[in-house]
Structure 1
Protein backbone atom coordinates (compact mmCIF):
# COMPACT_ATOMS: atom_id res chain seq x y z
CA UNK A 1 0.00 0.00 0.00
CA UNK A 2 1.37 3.43 -0.93
CA UNK A 3 2.10 6.19 1.52
CA UNK A 4 -1.03 8.00 0.35
CA UNK A 5 -3.31 5.07 1.17
CA UNK A 6 -5.25 5.08 4.41
CA UNK A 7 -3.97 1.90 6.05
CA UNK A 8 -4.19 3.32 9.55
CA UNK A 9 -7.48 4.70 10.93
CA UNK A 10 -7.67 8.49 11.32
CA UNK A 11 -8.04 7.99 15.05
CA UNK A 12 -5.55 5.21 15.66
CA UNK A 13 -6.49 2.79 18.46
CA UNK A 14 -4.27 1.95 21.38
CA UNK A 15 -1.91 -0.90 20.61
CA UNK A 16 -2.76 -4.46 21.70
CA UNK A 17 -0.48 -6.62 23.85
CA UNK A 18 -0.88 -9.95 22.04
CA UNK A 19 -0.96 -10.61 18.31
CA UNK A 20 -2.60 -13.91 17.37
CA UNK A 21 -2.04 -15.07 13.80
CA UNK A 22 -4.17 -17.09 11.49
CA UNK A 23 -1.68 -19.35 9.72
CA UNK A 24 -2.95 -21.04 6.52
CA UNK A 25 -2.85 -18.38 3.83
CA UNK A 26 -1.83 -15.60 6.22
CA UNK A 27 1.62 -16.81 7.33
CA UNK A 28 2.23 -19.63 4.88
CA UNK A 29 1.55 -20.18 1.20
CA UNK A 30 -0.50 -23.38 1.20
CA UNK A 31 -1.34 -23.22 -2.52
CA UNK A 32 2.20 -22.75 -3.76
CA UNK A 33 3.52 -25.37 -1.35
CA UNK A 34 1.03 -28.02 -2.43
CA UNK A 35 1.73 -27.24 -6.09
CA UNK A 36 5.44 -27.71 -5.34
CA UNK A 37 4.95 -31.10 -3.68
CA UNK A 38 2.43 -32.44 -6.21
CA UNK A 39 4.77 -31.42 -9.02
CA UNK A 40 7.73 -33.10 -7.30
CA UNK A 41 5.73 -36.33 -7.01
CA UNK A 42 4.91 -36.10 -10.73
CA UNK A 43 1.28 -36.91 -10.15
CA UNK A 44 -0.74 -36.91 -13.40
CA UNK A 45 -2.94 -34.01 -12.34
CA UNK A 46 -2.97 -30.23 -12.61
CA UNK A 47 -1.16 -29.28 -9.37
CA UNK A 48 -3.01 -26.00 -8.98
CA UNK A 49 -6.43 -27.58 -9.40
CA UNK A 50 -5.48 -30.35 -6.98
CA UNK A 51 -4.46 -27.78 -4.37
CA UNK A 52 -7.70 -25.83 -4.78
CA UNK A 53 -9.80 -29.00 -4.55
CA UNK A 54 -8.03 -30.12 -1.38
CA UNK A 55 -8.49 -26.75 0.29
CA UNK A 56 -12.12 -26.57 -0.85
CA UNK A 57 -12.95 -29.49 1.43
CA UNK A 58 -11.62 -27.66 4.50
CA UNK A 59 -14.67 -25.67 5.55
CA UNK A 60 -17.24 -28.42 4.90
CA UNK A 61 -15.13 -30.87 6.92
CA UNK A 62 -14.85 -28.47 9.85
CA UNK A 63 -18.57 -27.78 9.63
CA UNK A 64 -19.21 -31.47 10.29
CA UNK A 65 -17.24 -31.16 13.53
CA UNK A 66 -18.77 -27.82 14.55
CA UNK A 67 -22.26 -29.13 13.80
CA UNK A 68 -21.79 -32.29 15.87
CA UNK A 69 -21.86 -34.78 12.99
CA UNK A 70 -18.27 -35.71 13.84
CA UNK A 71 -16.66 -35.69 17.25
CA UNK A 72 -13.57 -33.57 17.78
CA UNK A 73 -11.26 -34.34 14.84
CA UNK A 74 -7.87 -32.74 14.35
CA UNK A 75 -7.03 -31.07 11.07
CA UNK A 76 -4.49 -33.74 10.09
CA UNK A 77 -7.31 -36.28 10.10
CA UNK A 78 -9.73 -33.96 8.30
CA UNK A 79 -7.07 -33.30 5.65
CA UNK A 80 -6.68 -37.05 5.19
CA UNK A 81 -10.44 -37.54 4.82
CA UNK A 82 -10.52 -34.82 2.15
CA UNK A 83 -7.44 -36.25 0.41
CA UNK A 84 -8.92 -39.73 0.18
CA UNK A 85 -12.02 -38.22 -1.43
CA UNK A 86 -10.24 -36.06 -3.99
CA UNK A 87 -7.85 -38.84 -4.99
CA UNK A 88 -10.90 -40.64 -6.35
CA UNK A 89 -12.08 -37.52 -8.16
CA UNK A 90 -8.66 -37.07 -9.77
CA UNK A 91 -8.34 -40.73 -10.73
CA UNK A 92 -5.61 -41.46 -8.18
CA UNK A 93 -7.50 -43.93 -6.01
CA UNK A 94 -4.71 -46.52 -6.43
CA UNK A 95 -2.22 -44.40 -4.47
CA UNK A 96 -0.76 -46.57 -1.71
CA UNK A 97 -0.93 -45.83 2.01
CA UNK A 98 2.68 -44.70 2.36
CA UNK A 99 2.28 -42.14 -0.41
CA UNK A 100 -1.05 -40.94 0.98
CA UNK A 101 0.50 -40.38 4.37
CA UNK A 102 3.49 -38.57 2.89
CA UNK A 103 1.27 -36.33 0.78
CA UNK A 104 -1.09 -35.58 3.65
CA UNK A 105 1.85 -34.31 5.70
CA UNK A 106 2.52 -31.62 3.10
CA UNK A 107 0.49 -29.37 5.41
CA UNK A 108 3.35 -29.68 7.93
CA UNK A 109 5.81 -28.51 5.25
CA UNK A 110 4.18 -25.33 3.98
CA UNK A 111 6.51 -22.50 2.97
CA UNK A 112 6.15 -19.07 4.59
CA UNK A 113 5.36 -16.02 2.50
CA UNK A 114 8.61 -14.14 1.70
CA UNK A 115 7.91 -11.39 4.26
CA UNK A 116 6.67 -13.66 7.03
CA UNK A 117 9.76 -14.57 9.04
CA UNK A 118 11.34 -11.12 9.07
CA UNK A 119 7.99 -9.46 9.67
CA UNK A 120 7.28 -11.71 12.64
CA UNK A 121 10.73 -11.06 14.08
CA UNK A 122 10.12 -7.33 13.92
CA UNK A 123 6.68 -7.62 15.47
CA UNK A 124 8.04 -9.86 18.20
CA UNK A 125 10.32 -7.03 19.36
CA UNK A 126 7.24 -5.22 20.64
CA UNK A 127 4.41 -7.75 21.00
CA UNK A 128 3.75 -11.28 22.20
CA UNK A 129 3.11 -13.46 19.15
CA UNK A 130 1.10 -16.68 18.99
CA UNK A 131 -0.71 -18.74 16.42
CA UNK A 132 -4.47 -19.06 16.41
CA UNK A 133 -4.95 -21.68 13.76
CA UNK A 134 -7.36 -24.51 13.12
CA UNK A 135 -4.27 -26.59 12.41
CA UNK A 136 -3.38 -29.08 15.14
CA UNK A 137 -0.47 -28.56 17.50
CA UNK A 138 1.88 -31.11 15.94
CA UNK A 139 1.30 -29.66 12.49
CA UNK A 140 1.97 -26.10 13.67
CA UNK A 141 5.10 -27.14 15.57
CA UNK A 142 6.52 -28.97 12.54
CA UNK A 143 5.72 -26.01 10.31
CA UNK A 144 7.34 -23.52 12.68
CA UNK A 145 10.47 -25.66 13.06
CA UNK A 146 10.91 -26.07 9.31
CA UNK A 147 10.14 -22.47 8.36
CA UNK A 148 11.81 -20.73 11.30
CA UNK A 149 8.63 -19.02 12.48
CA UNK A 150 9.51 -17.23 15.75
CA UNK A 151 6.35 -17.73 17.79
CA UNK A 152 6.27 -17.02 21.53
CA UNK A 153 3.56 -19.67 21.86
CA UNK A 154 1.77 -22.07 19.54
CA UNK A 155 -1.99 -22.15 20.14
CA UNK A 156 -4.51 -24.09 18.14
CA UNK A 157 -8.20 -24.82 17.97
CA UNK A 158 -7.07 -28.19 19.33
CA UNK A 159 -6.32 -26.50 22.68
CA UNK A 160 -9.83 -25.09 22.96
CA UNK A 161 -11.66 -27.95 21.19
CA UNK A 162 -13.38 -25.33 19.07
CA UNK A 163 -12.61 -24.47 15.48
CA UNK A 164 -12.67 -20.87 14.36
CA UNK A 165 -14.96 -19.00 13.97
CA UNK A 166 -16.35 -20.29 17.29
CA UNK A 167 -15.88 -17.51 19.87
CA UNK A 168 -14.22 -19.95 22.26
CA UNK A 169 -11.14 -19.94 20.05
CA UNK A 170 -10.59 -16.17 20.12
CA UNK A 171 -11.55 -15.75 23.76
CA UNK A 172 -9.39 -18.74 24.63
CA UNK A 173 -6.31 -16.81 23.54
CA UNK A 174 -7.32 -13.95 25.82
CA UNK A 175 -7.72 -16.37 28.70
CA UNK A 176 -4.32 -17.96 28.09
CA UNK A 177 -2.57 -14.60 28.28
CA UNK A 178 -4.95 -13.10 30.88
CA UNK A 179 -5.73 -10.10 28.70
CA UNK A 180 -8.97 -8.35 27.85
CA UNK A 181 -10.30 -9.02 24.33
CA UNK A 182 -9.37 -5.46 23.34
CA UNK A 183 -5.75 -6.27 24.21
CA UNK A 184 -5.59 -9.16 21.72
CA UNK A 185 -5.46 -8.60 17.98
CA UNK A 186 -6.06 -11.25 15.35
CA UNK A 187 -3.89 -10.91 12.26
CA UNK A 188 -5.41 -12.66 9.27
CA UNK A 189 -5.84 -12.61 5.51
CA UNK A 190 -9.50 -13.60 5.81
CA UNK A 191 -12.23 -11.07 6.51
CA UNK A 192 -14.65 -13.63 7.99
CA UNK A 193 -12.04 -14.70 10.55
CA UNK A 194 -11.45 -11.07 11.50
CA UNK A 195 -15.19 -10.37 11.74
CA UNK A 196 -15.59 -13.27 14.19
CA UNK A 197 -12.70 -11.93 16.29
CA UNK A 198 -14.20 -8.43 16.31
CA UNK A 199 -17.53 -9.87 17.44
CA UNK A 200 -15.71 -11.15 20.54
CA UNK A 201 -14.34 -7.69 21.27
CA UNK A 202 -10.89 -8.45 19.89
CA UNK A 203 -8.92 -6.22 17.56
CA UNK A 204 -8.38 -7.02 13.89
CA UNK A 205 -5.57 -6.52 11.38
CA UNK A 206 -6.06 -7.56 7.76
CA UNK A 207 -3.00 -8.59 5.75
CA UNK A 208 -3.26 -8.78 1.97
CA UNK A 209 -2.47 -12.16 0.45
CA UNK A 210 -3.81 -11.48 -3.02
CA UNK A 211 -2.53 -14.75 -4.48
CA UNK A 212 -3.44 -17.09 -1.64
CA UNK A 213 -5.35 -19.24 -4.15
CA UNK A 214 -2.65 -19.03 -6.79
CA UNK A 215 -1.83 -16.56 -9.57
CA UNK A 216 -4.94 -17.35 -11.60
CA UNK A 217 -7.42 -16.68 -8.77
CA UNK A 218 -6.47 -13.33 -7.22
CA UNK A 219 -8.44 -12.31 -4.13
CA UNK A 220 -10.23 -9.05 -3.48
CA UNK A 221 -8.05 -7.44 -0.80
CA UNK A 222 -10.01 -4.23 -0.41
CA UNK A 223 -9.87 -2.65 3.05
CA UNK A 224 -12.73 -3.14 5.48
CA UNK A 225 -13.14 -0.05 7.68
CA UNK A 226 -14.33 -2.29 10.53
CA UNK A 227 -10.76 -3.57 10.97
CA UNK A 228 -8.28 -1.68 13.12
CA UNK A 229 -5.38 -2.10 10.69
CA UNK A 230 -4.85 -2.98 7.02
CA UNK A 231 -1.41 -3.95 5.72
CA UNK A 232 0.09 -5.19 2.48
CA UNK A 233 2.26 -7.72 4.35
CA UNK A 234 3.87 -8.36 7.74
CA UNK A 235 6.66 -5.87 7.13
CA UNK A 236 4.09 -3.18 6.41
CA UNK A 237 2.16 -4.15 9.54
CA UNK A 238 5.35 -3.97 11.60
CA UNK A 239 6.07 -0.50 10.20
CA UNK A 240 2.55 0.67 11.04
CA UNK A 241 2.81 -0.71 14.59
CA UNK A 242 6.15 0.97 15.20
CA UNK A 243 8.40 -2.08 15.00
Structure 2
Protein backbone atom coordinates (compact mmCIF):
# COMPACT_ATOMS: atom_id res chain seq x y z
CA UNK A 1 0.00 0.00 0.00
CA UNK A 2 1.42 3.39 -0.97
CA UNK A 3 2.20 5.95 1.70
CA UNK A 4 -0.53 8.50 2.39
CA UNK A 5 0.98 11.82 3.49
CA UNK A 6 -0.45 13.72 6.41
CA UNK A 7 -3.23 16.07 5.33
CA UNK A 8 -3.21 19.38 7.17
CA UNK A 9 -6.59 20.25 8.72
CA UNK A 10 -5.75 23.96 8.50
CA UNK A 11 -4.76 24.03 4.82
CA UNK A 12 -6.67 21.03 3.46
CA UNK A 13 -3.52 20.00 1.59
CA UNK A 14 -1.38 16.89 1.88
CA UNK A 15 2.00 17.86 3.32
CA UNK A 16 4.92 17.26 0.98
CA UNK A 17 7.71 19.13 2.78
CA UNK A 18 8.38 19.47 6.50
CA UNK A 19 10.70 22.42 7.05
CA UNK A 20 12.21 23.23 10.41
CA UNK A 21 13.08 26.32 12.32
CA UNK A 22 16.65 25.53 13.24
CA UNK A 23 18.04 27.59 16.14
CA UNK A 24 16.37 26.16 19.23
CA UNK A 25 14.13 23.68 17.42
CA UNK A 26 16.70 21.38 15.80
CA UNK A 27 19.92 22.50 17.50
CA UNK A 28 20.73 23.58 21.05
CA UNK A 29 22.24 27.01 20.38
CA UNK A 30 22.65 27.97 24.05
CA UNK A 31 24.74 24.95 25.03
CA UNK A 32 26.79 25.07 21.84
CA UNK A 33 27.63 28.76 22.02
CA UNK A 34 28.33 28.65 25.77
CA UNK A 35 30.74 25.75 25.29
CA UNK A 36 32.80 27.69 22.76
CA UNK A 37 32.61 30.93 24.75
CA UNK A 38 33.99 29.06 27.78
CA UNK A 39 36.93 27.81 25.70
CA UNK A 40 37.49 31.34 24.38
CA UNK A 41 37.48 32.79 27.91
CA UNK A 42 40.00 30.21 29.10
CA UNK A 43 42.30 30.91 26.17
CA UNK A 44 42.04 34.67 26.76
CA UNK A 45 42.56 34.34 30.50
CA UNK A 46 39.33 36.15 31.38
CA UNK A 47 36.54 35.27 33.79
CA UNK A 48 33.23 34.97 31.97
CA UNK A 49 29.81 33.44 32.60
CA UNK A 50 29.57 31.54 29.33
CA UNK A 51 25.80 31.01 29.48
CA UNK A 52 25.14 34.66 30.31
CA UNK A 53 27.34 35.63 27.38
CA UNK A 54 25.46 33.26 25.05
CA UNK A 55 22.15 34.72 26.23
CA UNK A 56 23.37 38.27 25.65
CA UNK A 57 24.68 37.45 22.18
CA UNK A 58 21.40 35.78 21.27
CA UNK A 59 19.37 38.71 22.67
CA UNK A 60 20.91 40.94 19.98
CA UNK A 61 19.67 38.63 17.20
CA UNK A 62 16.14 39.93 16.74
CA UNK A 63 16.99 43.67 16.98
CA UNK A 64 19.69 43.22 14.34
CA UNK A 65 17.26 41.53 11.95
CA UNK A 66 14.52 44.05 12.70
CA UNK A 67 16.64 46.82 11.20
CA UNK A 68 16.56 44.83 7.95
CA UNK A 69 12.91 43.79 8.17
CA UNK A 70 11.90 47.42 8.73
CA UNK A 71 13.88 48.66 5.73
CA UNK A 72 16.36 50.69 7.78
CA UNK A 73 19.18 48.53 6.44
CA UNK A 74 19.64 46.51 3.26
CA UNK A 75 19.73 42.74 3.52
CA UNK A 76 22.79 41.53 5.42
CA UNK A 77 23.48 37.85 6.05
CA UNK A 78 23.22 36.42 9.53
CA UNK A 79 26.93 35.61 9.82
CA UNK A 80 27.67 39.33 9.49
CA UNK A 81 24.99 40.27 12.02
CA UNK A 82 26.33 37.69 14.47
CA UNK A 83 29.85 39.08 14.05
CA UNK A 84 28.68 42.65 14.71
CA UNK A 85 26.68 41.49 17.71
CA UNK A 86 29.71 39.62 19.07
CA UNK A 87 31.58 42.90 19.48
CA UNK A 88 28.64 44.35 21.40
CA UNK A 89 28.35 41.26 23.61
CA UNK A 90 32.07 41.42 24.38
CA UNK A 91 31.84 45.08 25.38
CA UNK A 92 28.80 44.33 27.53
CA UNK A 93 30.96 41.83 29.43
CA UNK A 94 33.88 44.21 29.79
CA UNK A 95 36.05 42.84 26.99
CA UNK A 96 37.40 45.17 24.31
CA UNK A 97 37.06 43.36 20.97
CA UNK A 98 39.90 45.38 19.45
CA UNK A 99 42.25 43.66 21.89
CA UNK A 100 41.33 40.23 20.52
CA UNK A 101 42.69 39.06 17.18
CA UNK A 102 40.34 39.19 14.22
CA UNK A 103 41.04 35.52 13.53
CA UNK A 104 40.05 34.55 17.08
CA UNK A 105 36.81 36.51 16.84
CA UNK A 106 36.02 35.06 13.41
CA UNK A 107 36.49 31.56 14.83
CA UNK A 108 34.28 32.32 17.83
CA UNK A 109 31.63 33.66 15.46
CA UNK A 110 31.68 30.29 13.71
CA UNK A 111 30.34 28.73 16.92
CA UNK A 112 26.89 29.25 15.36
CA UNK A 113 28.00 26.88 12.57
CA UNK A 114 28.86 24.12 15.06
CA UNK A 115 25.78 23.89 17.24
CA UNK A 116 24.89 20.46 18.64
CA UNK A 117 21.57 18.85 17.72
CA UNK A 118 19.01 18.01 20.36
CA UNK A 119 19.21 14.26 21.12
CA UNK A 120 16.09 13.42 19.08
CA UNK A 121 16.76 15.65 16.06
CA UNK A 122 18.88 13.50 13.77
CA UNK A 123 16.87 10.30 14.19
CA UNK A 124 13.58 12.17 13.87
CA UNK A 125 14.63 13.99 10.72
CA UNK A 126 15.87 10.78 9.14
CA UNK A 127 12.51 9.13 9.80
CA UNK A 128 10.48 12.04 8.42
CA UNK A 129 12.76 12.18 5.37
CA UNK A 130 11.64 8.71 4.31
CA UNK A 131 8.33 10.18 3.13
CA UNK A 132 8.69 13.97 3.13
CA UNK A 133 11.13 16.59 1.89
CA UNK A 134 13.01 17.91 4.91
CA UNK A 135 15.04 21.08 5.23
CA UNK A 136 15.53 24.17 7.35
CA UNK A 137 13.30 27.23 7.19
CA UNK A 138 15.69 29.38 9.14
CA UNK A 139 17.09 32.87 9.38
CA UNK A 140 20.53 31.34 8.98
CA UNK A 141 22.46 31.95 5.77
CA UNK A 142 23.17 29.02 3.46
CA UNK A 143 26.84 28.46 4.36
CA UNK A 144 26.00 28.58 8.08
CA UNK A 145 23.23 26.01 7.66
CA UNK A 146 25.42 23.81 5.49
CA UNK A 147 28.24 23.79 8.05
CA UNK A 148 25.72 23.14 10.81
CA UNK A 149 24.26 20.19 8.93
CA UNK A 150 27.67 18.65 8.29
CA UNK A 151 28.81 19.13 11.88
CA UNK A 152 25.59 17.91 13.48
CA UNK A 153 24.75 15.20 10.95
CA UNK A 154 21.42 16.77 9.97
CA UNK A 155 20.02 14.81 7.00
CA UNK A 156 18.48 17.67 5.04
CA UNK A 157 17.24 17.15 1.48
CA UNK A 158 17.65 20.83 0.68
CA UNK A 159 19.03 23.99 2.29
CA UNK A 160 17.48 27.33 1.39
CA UNK A 161 19.13 30.01 3.49
CA UNK A 162 17.85 33.49 4.21
CA UNK A 163 20.48 34.83 1.80
CA UNK A 164 18.45 33.10 -0.93
CA UNK A 165 15.05 34.43 0.13
CA UNK A 166 16.67 37.80 0.98
CA UNK A 167 14.46 38.36 3.99
CA UNK A 168 14.04 37.29 7.59
CA UNK A 169 11.22 35.55 9.41
CA UNK A 170 8.58 36.37 10.41
CA UNK A 171 8.03 38.44 7.26
CA UNK A 172 5.69 36.61 4.85
CA UNK A 173 8.19 36.31 2.01
CA UNK A 174 10.57 34.26 4.17
CA UNK A 175 7.99 31.47 4.13
CA UNK A 176 6.45 32.02 0.70
CA UNK A 177 9.71 32.26 -1.24
CA UNK A 178 10.94 29.06 0.37
CA UNK A 179 7.79 27.24 -0.79
CA UNK A 180 8.26 28.79 -4.23
CA UNK A 181 11.85 27.53 -4.47
CA UNK A 182 10.47 24.02 -3.87
CA UNK A 183 7.71 24.54 -6.44
CA UNK A 184 5.13 23.77 -3.76
CA UNK A 185 1.87 25.40 -2.78
CA UNK A 186 2.29 27.00 0.69
CA UNK A 187 -0.29 24.59 2.08
CA UNK A 188 1.91 21.65 1.06
CA UNK A 189 4.69 22.94 3.32
CA UNK A 190 4.67 22.40 7.07
CA UNK A 191 6.78 24.54 9.38
CA UNK A 192 7.93 22.72 12.50
CA UNK A 193 9.11 25.10 15.20
CA UNK A 194 9.54 25.53 18.93
CA UNK A 195 8.41 29.16 18.74
CA UNK A 196 4.74 30.09 18.66
CA UNK A 197 5.32 33.45 16.96
CA UNK A 198 7.10 31.71 14.07
CA UNK A 199 4.21 29.28 13.69
CA UNK A 200 1.67 32.10 13.81
CA UNK A 201 3.43 33.93 10.97
CA UNK A 202 3.63 30.72 8.92
CA UNK A 203 -0.06 29.97 9.50
CA UNK A 204 -0.99 33.50 8.40
CA UNK A 205 0.52 32.91 4.94
CA UNK A 206 -1.00 29.46 4.48
CA UNK A 207 1.58 26.96 5.73
CA UNK A 208 0.74 23.93 7.82
CA UNK A 209 2.21 24.08 11.32
CA UNK A 210 3.69 21.80 13.97
CA UNK A 211 4.87 22.80 17.44
CA UNK A 212 7.93 20.98 18.80
CA UNK A 213 8.48 21.64 22.50
CA UNK A 214 11.97 22.71 23.61
CA UNK A 215 11.35 23.77 27.21
CA UNK A 216 15.04 24.25 28.01
CA UNK A 217 16.11 26.17 24.89
CA UNK A 218 16.73 29.25 27.05
CA UNK A 219 17.94 27.30 30.07
CA UNK A 220 16.21 25.94 33.17
CA UNK A 221 14.35 29.18 33.84
CA UNK A 222 12.58 29.36 30.48
CA UNK A 223 9.15 30.98 30.73
CA UNK A 224 7.95 31.22 27.10
CA UNK A 225 7.11 28.69 24.40
CA UNK A 226 6.65 25.95 26.96
CA UNK A 227 3.50 24.73 25.20
CA UNK A 228 1.58 25.34 21.97
CA UNK A 229 -0.30 28.63 22.07
CA UNK A 230 -2.34 28.15 18.91
CA UNK A 231 -4.39 25.50 17.19
CA UNK A 232 -1.40 24.24 15.26
CA UNK A 233 -1.94 21.16 13.10
CA UNK A 234 0.35 19.06 15.27
CA UNK A 235 2.12 19.37 18.61
CA UNK A 236 4.98 17.10 19.68
CA UNK A 237 7.50 16.81 22.48
CA UNK A 238 10.32 15.88 20.07
CA UNK A 239 11.15 15.49 16.40
CA UNK A 240 10.82 11.73 16.77
CA UNK A 241 7.29 12.14 18.11
CA UNK A 242 6.52 14.49 15.23
CA UNK A 243 7.66 11.74 12.85
CA UNK A 244 5.14 9.40 14.45
CA UNK A 245 2.34 11.97 14.18
CA UNK A 246 3.15 12.44 10.49
CA UNK A 247 2.88 8.70 9.95
CA UNK A 248 6.48 8.52 8.82
Same fold, judged at TM 0.5 (above)? yes
**Mapped pair 1:73 → 2:76:** yes
Q: Secondary structure at the match of 1:28?
A: coil
Note if contact 1:212-1:218 (Cα within 8 Å) is conserved in structure 2.
no
Q: TM-score, normalised by structure 1?
A: 0.92
**Mapped pair 1:211 → 2:216:** yes
Q: Secondary structure at the match of 1:111?
A: coil
**Mapped pair 1:88 → 2:79:** no
**Count of matched residue pairs:** 235
1:226, CA displacement in angstroms? 2.1
Structure 1 residues 225 and 196: CA distance shift in structure 2, 3 A: closer
1:217, CA displacement in angstroms? 2.9
Structure 1: tracts of 5 or more residues without a match: 1-8
Aligned to 1:35: 34
Per-residue CA deviations over 1:184-219 (Å, capped at 9, x if unaligned) read 100111111110000001110010000101223354
1:14, CA displacement in angstroms? 5.6
Note if contact 1:28-1:113 (Cα within 8 Å) is conserved in structure 2.
yes
Note if contact 1:211-1:219 (Cα within 8 Å) is conserved in structure 2.
no
- Measure the CA separation in 1 of the matches of 2:73 and 2:230: 37
Q: TM-score, normalised by structure 2?
A: 0.90
1:115, CA displacement in angstroms? 0.4
Note if contact 1:29-1:111 (Cα within 8 Å) is conserved in structure 2.
yes
**RMSD between superposed Cα atoms in Å:** 1.8
- Measure the CA separation in 2 of the matches of 1:138 and 1:221: 30
Aligned pairs for 1:41-120 within 5 A = 41=40, 42=42, 43-93=46-96, 94-120=99-125
Aligned to 2:132: 127
**Mapped pair 1:16 → 2:15:** yes
**202-211 or 215-224, which deviates more:** 215-224
